[in-house]
Amino acid sequence: MYTQVIRTHNDGPFHFKKIENASHVIKAYNPICGDRFEIFVDSNSKKINSIHFHGFGCAISKASTSVLMQSLDGRTFQEAITICYNFLKFINKELSTDELVLQDEFLAFSGVHDFPERYDCATLSWMEMKKFLDQIESR
C-alpha cells in the first residue's frame, strides 16, 4: 500500500500551500475520518493556470491529492476532466493498466484494489475535483 511514490508525495507534497484570492476554493472533507483539504484553483475561462492544496489527511489521501495537483497543473478544463475520469476509473478497476497513458503515478495507488477500506482516502480530492470540473463544463 505505502509505495515509494505515496511516501514521497506524503513527505513532500506538490504545491502544498494556502493561496489567498484563488479563483476557486474546493473543499474535500471526509466526516468519517476527519480528512480535510482545501484545493485552490487559479484559472481563466478555459484553463487551470495553477493549482495548490492545503490541509490534513492520511498519507494515502495527502499523496493522492498531491498527484492530483501535479496532474492538473497548467491543464485545460477539458484535459483535467479526462485525467480525473481516468484516475477514478483506474481506482474503480474500470481501466486497465495498459490504458493508462502518461500517468505512471496512478499505479502507486493500485494497492487500493486490495484494501477497499482505503478507497475513500485515494479518491476524496479527485471526486470533489471531478464534481467541480463537471459544474464548470456544464455552464
Site for another protein contains 5 (CB under 8 A): no
Total site size for another protein, rule CB under 8 A: 17
Region of 12-20, 44-52, 53-61, 75-83 interacting with another protein (CB under 8 A): 53-61
Ramachandran assignment for 55, one of left (phi > 0), alpha (psi -120 to 50 degrees), beta (any other) = left
Query: Distance of alpha carbon 53 from its chain centroid, rounded?
Result: 10
Site for another protein contains 23 (CB under 8 A): no
The DSSP 8-state label assigned to residue 17 in this structure reads S
Site for another protein contains 93 (CB under 8 A): no
Distance CA 136, CA 74 (A): 16
Please, what is the minimum distance in Å from the beta carbon of residue 125 to another protein? 15
Contact, 57 vs 32, CB < 8 A?
no
Please, what is the minimum distance in Å from the beta carbon of residue 123 to another protein? 14
Site for another protein contains 32 (CB under 8 A): yes
Q: Which is nearer to another protein, 84 or 122 (CB)?
A: 122
Query: Would you list the DSSP string of 69-85?
Result: HHHHTT-BHHHHHHHHH
Q: Which is nearer to another protein, 32 or 101 (CB)?
A: 32
Query: Distance of alpha carbon 6 from its chain centroid, rounded?
Result: 13
Site for another protein contains 115 (CB under 8 A): yes
Ramachandran assignment for 105, one of left (phi > 0), alpha (psi -120 to 50 degrees), beta (any other) = alpha
Please, what is the minimum distance in Å from the beta carbon of residue 12 to another protein? 14
Query: Which residues of this protein are in contact with another protein, per CB under 8 A?
Result: 1-2, 32-36, 56-60, 62, 115, 117-118, 121
